[in-house]
Amino acid sequence: MRHLMNPLDFSVEELDKLFDLAESISADPAKYAHVCDGKTLATCFYEPSTRTRLSFESAMIHLGGQVLGFSEASSSSAAKGESVSDTIRVISCYADICAMRHPKEGAPMVAASKSGIPVINAGDGGHQHPTQTLTDLMTIRALKGRLGNFTIGLCGDLKFGRTVHSLINALIRYEGIKFIFISPPELRIPDYITDKLIESGIEYEEVIKLEVSIGDLDILYMTRVQRERFFNEEDYVRLKDFYILTNEKLQLAREDMLVLHPLPRVNEISVEVDDDPRAVYFKQAQYGVYVRMALIMTLLGLVSDTDTTP
Ligand code: CP
């Protein structure tokens, strides 16, 4: 039985296969409409979510399966003090696969160690968000045609943003990637990540102003300031509008630069940018459904040799 806790749980070759399958699904979703007939996905979300939970549910429904679950800790027996270990043992009696989001780093890993079914980390605290990373990689691969040889700027809350941590973790396995970290000093990328980049000989820069670097980027990955991870509201209010991407700033960027964002957006991308063809964050959300369909099939062992044949 296989779980997904971290993007590195899949090799580069396995990810290629997963993305091939996701592309085949996107080209002909009807072909996969009954792959999960009789299977059930549990979504156990101890933290709020729109995209991750609903895209998992949409993915399972589009595969012909059923869904059950809870969307907040307060409506589960966690409110009475039940541990994730006990919860997953029980969920294993009700479902075939589980996507779990939890505010505590490592909680889905604890669940996986006691689980009778595959567990997918749907975001654990400020740590990892591997299925967002799969979504991001698929978007880049589909729209840039490659997963390597580009400069990516990651902008915003690089301290608490788990999507950023997960994406960097995954991208360091590809050739020719240069990272530009764009953040206020208080929200800079953690040292454990820059230490890893130095050890691996991967080029990176840290800057404060978006305008200084935007012209060098193939991909701009915007993120919101993670209010829920701040210790005090005053700091959040001071930093929340540090970056606002506008059409004026986009004029400094290349014509073929892509703007990604895991969403939800707060103020960091002005809505006027949505009409720019470089803004692909809503397409990215659509890719998230296809890649989660491919992931569910893979973890349930339901992929056949003909599934990636157009
Ligand atoms: N990108 C993402 O994780 O969004 P949600 O918090 O809405 O799931």
Q: What is the pLDDT of residues 163-178, one digit of tens each?
A: 999 999 999 999 999 9
Question: What's the pLDDT at 309?
Answer: 64
Q: 137: closest CA among 33, 43, 14, 42?
A: 14
pLDDT at 305: 78
Helices (H), the chain: 12-27, 51-62, 84-94, 107-114, 130-144, 162-171, 191-199, 210-213, 233-239, 247-250, 281-299
- Indicate which atom in ligand 1 lies nearest the CA of residue 262: 1
Q: Is the peptide bond before 190 cis (omega within 30 degrees of 0)?
A: no
pLDDT score of 240? 85
Distance of CA 66 from the midpoint of ligand 1 (Å): 21
Pocket test for ligand 1, best of 44, 45, 47, 52 (most atoms within 8 A of CB): 52
Indicate which atom in ligand 1 lies nearest the CA of residue 54: 8
Mutate to test the pocket of ligand 1, among 45, 46, 47, 50 (most ligand atoms within 8 A of CB): 50
Q: What is the pLDDT of residue 23?
A: 96
Q: What is the pLDDT of residues 212-227, one digit of tens each?
A: 999 999 999 999 987 7
Query: What does the mean pLDDT of the chain come to?
Result: 95
Question: How far apart, in Å, are the Cα atoms of 259 and each of 19, 53, 81, 158, 275?
Answer: 20, 23, 42, 16, 12
Alpha-carbon distance of 197 to 87, in angstroms, equals: 37
The whole-number pLDDT of residue 97 equals 98
Global pTM reads 0.94
Confidence at residue 297, expressed as pLDDT on a 0 to 100 scale? 98
Q: Which segments of the chain have a pLDDT < 50?
A: none
What does the pLDDT look like over 218-268, one tens digit per residue? 999 999 987 777 778 888 788 788 899 999 999 999 999 999 999 999 999
Residues within 6 Å of ligand 1 by CB: 49-52, 123, 129, 132, 262-264
DSSP class of residue 204 equals E
Supply the pLDDT for residue 117: 98
Please report the pLDDT score of residue 225 as a whole number: 87
Domains and their CATH numbers in the chain: 7-128+288-299 (3.40.50.1370), 131-285 (3.40.50.1370)
Half-sphere exposure of residue 231, counting CA atoms within 13 Å on the CB side? 2
